[in-house]
Structure 1
Amino acid sequence: MEIGTDASISLANVVPETTSFDFDTISVEVITGDSDAFSGFFNSWLNAVSLSATSVGTFKISVSSTNVTKTFTVTVNDAQPKEIFASYFVEGPDGYVAYSLGDSISAYVGITYIFSASVSPAQADQNIHSSVNTNGLKYTLETKTIKVNDYVDEKDMVCFTPLSEGDYDLVLESASKTDVKLTTHFTVSKMPTFSEVLSSDFAWRQGSQIKYYFSFTPDVSSEGQSGHVTISDRTSNKQENATYTISTLTNGYEFKFTHVDGEEFNLTVKMSKDFMMIVYVDGYGNEMSKVTVEFMLSGGTWAGTSGDYQLNLNFYNNGEANVSFMKTDYSVSKYFSCNFVITQSGEGYVGTFTSNSYTEDPFIALPATFTVNNELNSISMNFDYDGVSYSFTLTISADY
């Protein structure tokens, strides 16, 4: 066995067959080896002895009942790397902005992407080598000791900065087991203008409800560094019209709003170097999202019924979804997670569910499609299950 993994010894062919371990407790004792580094206990649910170790070595153990004792020799080896996990950060106006890592990143020239990586299991060698595969494009790659916030210790992180437009693959590889690696694809574009960034609306959800919604009208002559903004508080149905200017900070940008009419919110809004927009409420920074169809579909549970069945859909802004299907008497309950994509079609949208690495035993054939109306308040989905056709119309309700 390895450090960080559990092993078990099954108890079989117990004589007499009527033996009950409720009355004859199984005990485990370390005969030779460091007893503080090795432990075992009887798991009555599995009818087995579970073993774990915290250091390398050879241990001789005894497994005993009242009348029977068996001895075993257990060799414990170093934990071997199994997988690499990572998240990444970009410098922001008040620290580092954290992102969850997917298979690819849409990146900008000159921005440094900071990777915090670890090897699983935690007991394995944590040393990681980094490299970049690209077709002659320029970049910098270095390891720095960084403390991203007050809640975690400083650690060595991989800092990757693309210097040209194009495609890059950043490879994080276990130093002791080279076939354990994590590859992230970067599609790198030139830095956009503020006009390009602010051509989209932005919003912040408080819980599952949209709280603040920003619609910008950039001034073309300043390439969007100034212009007009309409800020809506969707929970109070109040609105402010203002002008804005953007100033450059050491690690990002800050908006200055000048009130024109309507409610005066006096909001502070900043952006990170990669244009993550942050609105400050009660002194806390909250990351806003670009308003897309995917964003508008997320934030609650879509539910509908057909016959004796209910269908629930949960969408997430990262392109993932959960799909559940159950009979009203709970005699049937099915669930799977997947990816989804949305495309515009006529007076509405067509969505497609597709498999990902977390999809297990989907109860419908994938890919599967659904439609969304233009107002984004109704979803229709049809499929067959167990030889019966079902047709669902779903509406959304806030989760909290």
Structure 2
Amino acid sequence: MSFEIFNLSLELKKALEKNSYKEATPIQKEVIPLIKSKHDILAQAQTGSGKTASFVIPILELLKEEKSTKKAKIKVLVLAPTRELTLQITETFSNMSQFFEKKPSIVSVIGGESIGDQLLKIQKGCDIVVATSGRLLDIIDKKQMDLSNLQYFVLDEADKMLDLGFAQELDTILEIIPKNRQNLLFSATYSKKVIDIASKITTTATKVKIESKTTHVENIEQRAIFVNKENRNALLKHLIKQYKFKSVLVFVSTKRATENISYKFRKSGYLAESFHGDLTQEERVYTLEEFKNKKLNILFSTDIASRGLHIDDIDCVINFDLPRSTEDYIHRIGRTARAGKTGVAISFLDNDNLAHFKLIEKRYKLDIPKEQIEGFDFTLEKVKKQKGPMPVKGKRKSKKDKLREQGLK
């Protein structure tokens, strides 16, 4: 479906064309008209669905129609769970407003960068703040941010934010922002926690649900390969050589593991680097740019890269370690096959994680063939159900005995 149906301004149409937005995705088709009509939204949308543009486009259109003031005032507040997603959203706002006669001022508020510089930009006047909640509260505590003119409150990746302990922070933010505002919530899942949070923010939201969980992974070839843990490095090198992968994103479970494995691969001559939350913001931005520009071929990352990482040409995603949450599996593999391209997602399996992988398959109604690669011998162990010991009569104390011991009988 063409963006023509949304009746957008000429400036936005030019930006869409320049950024290669040709057909509206299902979430954009549903959400853009609702936001333009001033509805509150509670939308369930998976990674790669185009949800960022679904709120950026109509918000910019509505802002453009308003009379401008001499000094910009904060009218839009977007909260996101990670620095990377925050910067991606900021970039989308900037790209989509590039042809506006009066471009909105957009400020990213994130940790790892100078809070003084961010405060200065805000105090000079800005229209849109895109923030992680922790740094936003740091600035709010300094009482140097005026949110009294806020019109649009966007909560992106709500489920992920709750995983990071966002609930209490939200209460503080809701006390400060105006009650009369448009609320837009996006989440990959409709868990009870998400619904509880949504009820705090709005009771009049229009619910939008994009049914299929597989639309964004149709172009991904999903594979599962048995391999002993000590042979995973060798298998990864074998796969990269065999399929000539030029850009590989490898998910591992810990920050320390990303450092150790990337070091070993660099010693073997690979252009590899680690990516995790302990890096400074400057290091994180630099590493992603190197990966995007193909100066790095392999990025070993924690789940920090499972959401908000928009790189169009990742050939293959490797689950070196499986994600703890079944939901993160889809977010991880969604880093490949973006922008209509194809990609491969490979999970390394062993006797310890096979049961967890079966839970992932059940969750997403998948049936991925389990492979073994020649030269990487693996023995699948049958899991025997162990029966607990038979109860011994008279072993457990009766309620009367327990009360007697406590002097209550």
Structure with more of its chain in helix, by fraction: 2
Greater relative contact order (Cα < 8 A, sep 6+): 2
- TM-score if structure 1 supplies the norm length? 0.26
Task: Report which of the two structures shows the higher radius of gyration computed on alpha carbons.
Answer: 1
Normalized per residue, the structure richer in strand is 1
